[in-house]
Amino acid sequence: MSRSRRISCAVTLALAATLLGQPALSPAPQRMTPQPIPSPNAPDQSYPQGMNGPGIKDPDAKVIDKQNQAEVKAEIEKLYALVFELREEMKQTNGNTTLSVSVVKKAQQIEKLAKEIKDRAKN
């Protein structure tokens, strides 16, 4: 190849590199991998259990179950006493008369207590 042809090829290559934004005859730059930016909402590394610090222990299920059973038994005893009182009042009333307000209120109280026992027993 002649000298003029080499110069013209070098100039053309340099011009093309300038237009493309890359330096002429230099190695291609290596790409940097982007580094993740830590989130401000990320948990603190000193607390491995989470953002709120060490985990809170749940209460023992057996202890709660025993307390629940004791409360249900107490409520059943109250229910039994109310039913017995209502039964005695009903024995004293005449079948031909209307029911007194106290009998109706006691029946509503029994119904409410029975519903509470039912809900507690489901849990």
Question: 89-107, pLDDT tens digit by residue?
Answer: 888 887 777 778 888 899 9
User: Can you give the pTM of this predicted structure?
Assistant: 0.47
Q: For residue range 3-50, what is the model confidence (pLDDT) as tens digits?
A: 777 777 677 767 666 666 655 455 566 778 888 887 777 666 665 555
Task: Determine the pLDDT at residue 4.
Answer: 73
CA distance readout (Å), 92 to 32, 89, 95, 106, 107: 95, 5, 9, 15, 16
Handedness of CA 23, 27, 32, 33 (dihedral sign): positive
Map out the domains of the chain as residue ranges: 61-122
Task: Determine the pLDDT at residue 112.
Answer: 93
Lowest mean per-residue pLDDT among 6-15, 70-79, 85-94, 114-123: 6-15
Contacts with 55 (C-beta within 8 Å, 6 or more apart), sequence order? 49
The residue to which tokens 């830590």 are assigned:
38
